[in-house]
Amino acid sequence: MKFNKRQQSKSQTKKTKFRRSAKWIKFRRHMKAKQKTDPITGSPLAPTCSVHHLDMREENYEDLSDETHFVALNAQSHETIHFLWQAHGG
């Protein structure tokens, strides 16, 4: 589904608010402690690692009930994943 700029802005604002929530911060710490390494490079996770949503659907963005829908990645791996996703029509 394609969104217009206003819808995208509203969606991004909602996602940003969620990523600042105590629930997300706690989940991110948990995933980093559990995973410890970047699965793409095998390097230890940096303190600034990202937790990437594997299910990019809007309706599932705040659903933290299944840890298998997330992966902790260092910055370069996270950028690469997003580049590939966008390059393939994401």
- Asked if residue 15 has pLDDT above 70, the reply is yes
Mean pLDDT of 17-30: 94
Contact 73, 50 (CB under 8 A): yes
Instruction: Give per-residue burial for 70-90: e unless 16+ CB within 10 Å, then b.
Output: bbbbbeebbeebeeeeeeeee
Mean pLDDT of 42-62: 91
pTM of the shown model: 0.77
Average pLDDT, the chain: 88
- Asked if residue 90 has pLDDT above 80, the reply is no
Q: What is the pLDDT of residue 18?
A: 93
Q: What is the pLDDT of residue 56?
A: 79
- Asked if residue 7 has pLDDT above 70, the reply is no
pLDDT tens digits along 70-89: 999 999 999 999 899 888 87
| Distance from C-alpha of 64 to C-alpha of 51, rounded to nearest angstrom | 11
